């Protein structure tokens, strides 16, 4: 593609100083930053170029484009990855200096929640909050339930006596959220500003409920969560593991020393893609390693990950400090589609000073199929109409793979999915794939893989004790932990010792069965690659035999097939780029950001995705159902939340190349008691 004047200006921007690429949707951002990378590497024959992207998928895509455009020598000078992967590598290279074993493994969100849960259990106790927990924590816990139902009991100091695992896990998720929301200086003092407390409260339901009813109490809760987090660092080190949240925090500590100097000195320039999704600790890292030679590329109007700590306000501050190079010439969509996106985002106040209307690089032609809105009485009628349109366009030569259905909330999907399946429309349902990534099959596989590379990973160990099912539940694990404590042993040491004979005969038998599996895993072939390892553990753990003996054996086999295909695709790509990688490297890479890996199960199928999941993708035809108030936008906490959702509308709209269809219904099964009205976003986009 021939570069336009805006793109050329960004490519040729000075290497020194702060450069901002304000790249709107579909403006050839990836092509431009690859060309900028090529020019920098050509003009400067020494030094490394660091290129950071938001997800592994986008980092892999960037790596492929660089491979096509750079020489072998230039490629050797480029470091690409996500923030977490780059930071993880930096920490591993300085592991001894920060008190870690260089062979630490990185645990995912599920194991992290287990870690936080174990620490929370010690605070809350087996039977409830007890006398040791102050009222703000009781209120916080209760706010996971119906506040109005329990507020009187809370005010009277009548706290709950027990909590389910679900309640505790929900609370545990808040611990990591705080680290992603906080300013670096706040993590040094433990004192959090009102702005941080607001962001923290918004990130989880129970925290927001408390914030609304006891604003001062949320500060106490934040301090409680921060203490849990600091304790988690010590606990994780015992098992030689590090969490995603801890990676950010450790790098934060490294910025206060000279431990990043050698890495920084090796860098010629740093390019950060999707900078609008960067959080405060990540920006601090960038400021440390690239203070004088930095390019940030992003679109503040596509900042849709505030729940992960994304900070559009911080990106705007950098835009005010640097030289801004706008990219507004759109190569994806026809102008009427862009007009809808331009019009709706103009209602946002944040970033308005940098807003430039997108213009289409392509004139209207017969390929343009319109921007239309339809209303239906019910969600079933809506689904039937969408199916009719899909068939209509498919019969006229439009491939299923060139069509997508995008939703803000999966609440819209039950009826639609059912009707699509009955109509035998081939689908690439990425929302179901997201479910698979959270399935027992996926989680169990990851945990067994972690044991292969780090036998002392207590969180993977505990997670697999009863996988496949062998009757070692939470009560049994408590008994094991108590018995281990008597002998001043870890759970792993206890189970591997002769002391297991002190358990009841039944539990002893079950534990010994797991011990046999564990020892089998320890004796695996050290030359395994990732595919070999997965095949090995599925066999040796008895997982395949167990799964195929269940009532839902067919569904189990389907998940195993998805797993195998996923592992093969990942390993093939990763090993080709890293031929010297070990199983340790491959498992750690696979664990990193694995939830962002999307696989198309059907070569020619209509994509179903959330708008969050559609970021960076595009289709000829996009359907956006569920365009009603309280659905899209959903219930907005405040104007900031409404602006977040308006940015989501903007992202969804700009996924369409030729045809954009909005639909809304007067009634939905999931909202039987509500009289639905059209979304305000339709009016704002001038498409109602």
**Paired strand residues for 624:** 662
* Residues 98-125 pLDDT 10s: 999 888 888 877 788 888 888 877 776 5
**Confidence check: pLDDT of 610 > 80:** yes
Mean pLDDT of 196-219: 82
> Model confidence over 254-276: pLDDT tens digits?
999 999 999 999 999 999 999 99
Contact 211, 199 (CB under 8 A): no
| Identity of the highest mean pLDDT range in 204-213, 546-555, 583-592 | 546-555
User: 376: part of which helix (H) or strand (E)?
Assistant: strand 370-378
Q: How many CB atoms lie within 10 A of CB 149?
A: 9
> For residue 145, what pLDDT is reported?
52
Q: CA-to-CA distance for 99 and 97, rounded, in angstroms? A: 6
Supply the DSSP string of 18-66, one letter for each residue: EEEEEE-TTS-HHHHHHHHHHHHHHH--SSEEEEEESSHHHHHHHHHHH
Q: Looking at per-residue confidence, does 391 or 355 come out higher?
A: 391
Contact 528, 448 (CB under 8 A): no
Q: What is the pLDDT of residues 313-335, one digit of tens each?
A: 899 999 999 999 999 999 999 99
Angle at alpha carbon of residue 195, lines to 193 and 197, rounded to 5°? 70
Instruction: Locate 620 and state its tokens.
Output: 């000829």
pTM: 0.86
**What does the angle CA 14 – CA 18 – CA 24 come to, to the nearest 5 degrees?**
95
Question: Given this model, what pLDDT does residue 551 score?
Answer: 83
Rounded to whole angstroms, the Cα distance separating 76 from 63 reads 12
Across the range 59-77, mean pLDDT stands at 91
283, 286, 291, 294 alpha-carbon torsion, rounded to 10°:
-100
Distance CA(210)–CA(502), nearest Å, equals 45
Sign of dihedral through CA atoms 299, 304, 305, 307?
positive
How many other CB atoms are found less than 10 A from the CB of residue 645?
19
Instruction: Answer for the pair 288, 260: CB distance below 8 angstroms, yes or no.
Output: yes
CA distance 403 to 390: 8
| pLDDT computed for residue 157 by the predictor | 55
Predicted local confidence at residue 368, as pLDDT: 86
User: What's residue 385's pLDDT?
Assistant: 97
Structure confidence at residue 686 (pLDDT): 96
Of 155-159, 189-193, 305-309, least confident by mean pLDDT is: 155-159
Is the pLDDT assigned to residue 559 strictly greater than 50? yes
| Interval 406-443: pLDDT, tens | 999 888 988 998 999 999 999 988 777 667 777 888 88
Tell me: pLDDT of 214 over 90. Answer: no
Average confidence (pLDDT) over 282-297: 96
Residue labelled with tokens 């945990």: 447
Starting at the edge strand that comes first in sequence, how are the strands of the sheet with 293-298 ordered? 78-82, 48-53, 267-272, 293-298, 17-23, 323-327
CA-based torsion, 550, 551, 552, 554: positive or negative: positive
Give residue 215's pLDDT. 80
CB 200 within 8 A of CB 220: no
* pLDDT reported for residue 306: 85
- Angle (deg, nearest 10), helices 280-289 and 312-321: 30
CB burial class (10 A; 0-12, 13-18, 19+) of residue 383? buried
> Residue 168's pLDDT band (boundaries 50, 70, 90)?
low
CB 77 within 8 A of CB 49: yes
pLDDT at 596 exceeding the cut of 50: no
Res 600: pLDDT:
45
Looking at per-residue confidence, does 206 or 602 come out higher? 206
Is residue 587 scored above 90 in pLDDT? no
What pLDDT, on the 0 to 100 scale, is given for residue 132?
A: 43
- Banded pLDDT at 72 (limits 50, 70, 90): very high
Peptide bond into 633 cis (omega under 30): yes
How many contiguous H segments (helices) and E segments (strands) does the chain have? 32, 16
Tokens in use for 213? 């009813």
* Percent of the chain whose pLDDT exceeds 70: 90
Q: How many angstroms separate the CA atoms of 285 and 283, rounded? A: 5
In angstroms, what is the C-alpha Rg of the chain? Answer: 26
* Mean pLDDT of the 491-495 span: 89
Lowest average pLDDT, out of 245-254, 396-405, 460-469, 651-660, goes to 460-469
Per residue in 627-672, pLDDT (tens digit) is 999 899 987 778 888 999 999 999 999 999 999 999 999 999 887 7
What is the per-residue pLDDT across 80-100, written as a single tens digit (0 to 9) for each? 989 988 999 999 999 999 999
Token pair, residue 479, equals 């008994």
425-459 burial: b if 16+ Cβ within 10 Å, else e: bebbbbbebbebbebebbbbbbbbbbbbbbbbbbb
Q: Enumerate the β-bridge partners of residue 664.
A: 375
Structure tokens at 121: 């259990």
Res. 66: pLDDT tops 60? yes
Q: Residue 125: its pLDDT value, please?
A: 55
Nearest Cα neighbor of 615 from 301, 350, 309 is 301
- Looking at the predicted structure, is the pLDDT value of residue 597 above 50? no
State the average pLDDT over residues 275-287.
Answer: 94
β-sheet with 403-407: strand ranges across:
370-378, 656-667, 619-624, 403-407, 606-610, 427-429
Residue 395: per-residue pLDDT: 94
How high does pLDDT run on average in the chain?
Answer: 87
What mean pLDDT do residues 567-584 have?
Answer: 80
Could you give the CA distance from residue 669 to residue 336 in angstroms, rounded to a whole number?
33
Q: What is the pLDDT of residue 151?
A: 57
> Burial, 274: exposed, middle or buried (Cβ in 10 Å; 0-12, 13-18, 19+)?
buried
């Amino acid at each position: 593609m021939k570069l336009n004047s805006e793109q050329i200006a960004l490519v040729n921007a000075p290497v020194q100083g702060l450069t901002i690429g304000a790249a709107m949707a579909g403006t050839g951002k990836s092509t431009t930053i690859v060309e900028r990378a090529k020019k920098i590497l050509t003009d400067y024959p020494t030094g490394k170029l660091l290129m950071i992207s938001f997800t592994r998928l986008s980092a892999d895509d960037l790596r492929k484009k660089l491979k096509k455009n750079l020489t072998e020598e230039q490629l050797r000078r480029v470091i690409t990855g996500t923030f977490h992967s780059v930071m993880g590598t930096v920490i591993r290279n300085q592991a001894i200096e920060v008190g870690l074993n260089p062979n630490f493994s990185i645990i995912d969100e599920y194991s992290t929640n287990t870690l936080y849960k174990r620490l929370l259990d010690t605070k809350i106790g087996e039977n409830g909050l007890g006398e040791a927990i102050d009222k703000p924590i009781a209120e916080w816990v209760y706010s996971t339930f119906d506040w109005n139902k329990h507020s009187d009991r809370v005010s009277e100091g009548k706290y709950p006596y027990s909590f389910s695992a679900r309640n505790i896990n929900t609370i545990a998720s808040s611990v990591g959220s705080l680290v992603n929301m906080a300013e670096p200086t706040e993590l040094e003092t433990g004192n959090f500003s009102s702005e941080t407390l607001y962001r923290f409260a918004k990130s989880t339901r129970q925290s927001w409920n408390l914030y609304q009813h006891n604003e001062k109490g949320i500060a106490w809760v934040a301090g409680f969560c921060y203490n849990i987090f600091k304790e988690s660092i010590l606990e994780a080190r015992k098992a030689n593991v590090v969490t995603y949240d801890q990676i950010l925090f450790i790098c934060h500590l490294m910025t206060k020393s000279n431990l990043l100097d050698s890495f920084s000195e090796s860098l010629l320039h740093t390019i950060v893609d999707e900078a609008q999704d960067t959080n405060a600790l990540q920006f601090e890292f960038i400021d440390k390693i690239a203070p004088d030679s930095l390019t940030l590329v992003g679109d503040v109007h596509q900042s849709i990950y505030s729940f992960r700590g994304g900070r559009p306000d911080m990106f705007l501050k950098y835009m005010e400090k640097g030289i801004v190079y706008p990219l507004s010439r759109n190569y994806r969509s026809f102008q009427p589609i862009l007009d809808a996106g331009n019009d709706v985002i103009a209602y946002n106040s944040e970033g308005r000073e940098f807003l430039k209307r997108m213009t289409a690089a392509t004139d209207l032609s017969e390929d343009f199929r319109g921007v239309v809105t339809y209303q239906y009485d019910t969600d079933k009628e809506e689904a039937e109409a969408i199916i009719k349109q899909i068939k209509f366009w498919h019969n006229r030569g439009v491939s299923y793979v060139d069509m997508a259905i995008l939703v803000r909330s999966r609440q819209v999907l039950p009826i639609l999915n059912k009707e699509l399946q009955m109509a035998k429309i081939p689908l690439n349902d990425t929302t179901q794939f997201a479910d698979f990534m959270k399935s027992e099959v996926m989680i169990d596989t990851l945990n067994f893989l972690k044991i292969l590379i780090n036998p002392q990973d207590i969180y993977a160990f505990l997670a697999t004790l009863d996988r496949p099912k062998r009757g070692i539940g939470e009560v049994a694990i408590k008994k094991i932990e108590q018995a281990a404590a008597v002998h001043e042993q870890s759970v792993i040491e206890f189970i591997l010792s002769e002391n297991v004979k002190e358990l009841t005969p039944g539990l002893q038998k079950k534990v010994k069965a797991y011990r046999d599996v564990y020892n089998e895993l320890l004796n695996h072939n050290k030359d395994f690659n990732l595919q070999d390892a997965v095949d090995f553990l599925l066999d040796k753990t008895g997982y395949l035999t167990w799964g195929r003996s269940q009532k839902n054996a067919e569904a189990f086999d389907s998940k195993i097939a998805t797993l195998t295909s996923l592992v093969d695709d990942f390993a093939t790509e990763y090993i080709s780029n890293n031929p010297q990688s070990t199983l340790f490297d491959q498992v750690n890479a696979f664990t990193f950001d694995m939830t962002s890996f999307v696989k198309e199960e059907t070569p020619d199928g209509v994509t179903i995705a959330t708008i969050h999941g559609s970021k960076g993708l595009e289709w000829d035809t996009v359907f956006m159902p569920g365009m009603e108030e309280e659905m899209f936008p959903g219930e907005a906490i405040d104007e900031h939340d409404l602006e977040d959702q308006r940015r989501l509308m903007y992202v969804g709209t700009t996924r369409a190349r030729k045809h954009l269809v909005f639909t809304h219904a007067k009634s939905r099964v999931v909202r039987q008691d509500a009289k639905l009205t059209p979304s305000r976003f339709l009016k704002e986009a001038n498409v109602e």
